[in-house]
């Protein structure tokens, strides 16, 4: 009989949902460049720089193109066969792939280019300090990724189908640790005009994580 793997509370996986169809953008936004690199590549790179291990990339419609973009980076690509049902299925798919030894996972979205490795490391540090089941980024009055989920919530995430991340945060908000960031870091990319605006603004602060304090 084999022993169950021991959970390391300080080992935190990364989950990067990259299975969307980019309908509003009109093209695969994951491969759009901001600061000299594709959005999905930046997210996976920053997850690794933040110490997340492993970094799980959940793919969908653009699976082959996304995996080609990341072939030189260390990550674990998995395919979400239910990707057309929404991002919640990709989060659940990623959670299911987290190794049994990991004590938590951080979900970070590739279309949030103003998130930095330091922000992710801060979530991991707060989890280690507090043992909270949730560590949530807050931008002004808005809660948004990256979000750290303790392993104790994985089963709950896997069972939910719609809005799983928001619902889990709502249910456990009283036990969550909130980490505040400047409101202008909450910029995502869904439409061409948003991409052009973010690309201009990003160029003004630098293209690498070290240039974004």
Q: Residue 3 has what pLDDT?
A: 56
List, for residues 141-183, the tens digit of each pLDDT value.
999 999 999 999 999 988 876 555 778 888 888 999 999 999 9
In this structure, the strands spanning 76-79 and 37-38 are unpaired
Q: Under 8 Å CB-to-CB from 89, ≥6 apart: which residues?
A: 19, 80, 82, 83, 161
Secondary structure (3-state) at 8: strand
3-state helix, strand, coil in the chain (%, to 5): 40, 25, 35
Q: Under 8 Å CB-to-CB from 170, ≥6 apart: which residues?
A: none
pLDDT at 9 over 90: no
At 207, is the pLDDT very low, low, confident or very high (cuts 50, 70, 90)?
very low
Q: Residue 154 has what pLDDT?
A: 94
Between helix 164-171 and helix 87-96 the angle, nearest 10°, is 70
Q: Residue 203 has what pLDDT?
A: 76
List, for residues 188-199, the tens digit of each pLDDT value.
788 888 888 888
Answer with the residue of higher pLDDT: 7 or 142.
142
- For the chain, what is the mean pLDDT? 87
List, for residues 80-105, the tens digit of each pLDDT value.
998 888 888 899 999 999 999 999 99
Domain positions in the chain:
8-192
Query: How many other CB atoms sit within 10 Å of the CB of residue 57?
Result: 29
Q: Residue 175 has what pLDDT?
A: 93
pLDDT at 1 over 50: no
> Residue 103: which region, alpha, beta or left (left: phi > 0; alpha: psi -120 to 50)?
alpha
State the pTM of this model: 0.90
Q: Residue 149 has what pLDDT?
A: 97
List, for residues 101-137, the tens digit of each pLDDT value.
999 999 999 999 999 999 999 999 999 999 999 999 9
Q: Residue 206 has what pLDDT?
A: 54
E strands present in 8-121: 8-18, 33-34, 37-38, 55-59, 76-79, 102-107
Q: Quick one: CATH architecture of 8-192?
A: Alpha-Beta Complex (3.90)
Structure-token pair, residue 151: 């392993």
What H or E segment, with its residue span, contains residue 204? Answer: helix 192-205
Q: Residue 153 has what pLDDT?
A: 95
At 212, is the pLDDT very low, low, confident or very high (cuts 50, 70, 90)?
low
pLDDT at 209 over 60: no
Task: Please compute the mean of the pLDDT values over residues 5-13 and round it to a whole number.
Answer: 82
Query: What is the dihedral sign for C-alpha 166, 82, 25, 43?
Result: positive
List, for residues 12-38, the tens digit of each pLDDT value.
999 999 887 666 665 688 999 998 899
Spatial distance between the Cα atoms of 211 and 76, rounded to a whole number of angstroms = 27
């Amino acid at each position: 009989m084999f022993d169950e793997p021991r959970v390391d509370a300080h080992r935190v996986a990364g989950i990067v949902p990259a299975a969307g169809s980019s309908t509003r953008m009109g093209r695969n936004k994951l491969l759009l460049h901001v600061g000299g690199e594709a959005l999905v590549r930046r997210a996976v790179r920053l997850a690794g720089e933040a110490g997340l291990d492993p970094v799980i990339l959940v793919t969908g419609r653009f699976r082959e193109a996304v995996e080609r973009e990341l072939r030189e980076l260390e990550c674990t690509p998995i395919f979400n066969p239910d990707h057309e049902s929404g991002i919640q299925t990709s989060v659940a798919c990623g959670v299911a792939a987290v190794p049994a030894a990991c004590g938590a996972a951080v979900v970070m979205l590739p279309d949030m280019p103003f998130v930095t490795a330091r922000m992710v490391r801060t979530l991991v540090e707060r989890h280690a300090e507090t043992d909270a089941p949730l560590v949530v980024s807050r931008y002004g009055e808005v809660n948004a990724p990256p979000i750290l989920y303790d392993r104790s919530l994985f089963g709950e995430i896997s069972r939910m189908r719609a809005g799983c991340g928001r619902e889990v945060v709502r249910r456990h908000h009283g036990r969550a640790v909130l980490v505040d960031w400047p409101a202008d870091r909450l910029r995502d990319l869904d439409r061409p005009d948003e991409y052009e605006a973010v690309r201009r603004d990003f160029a003004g602060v630098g293209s690498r994580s070290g240039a974004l304090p």
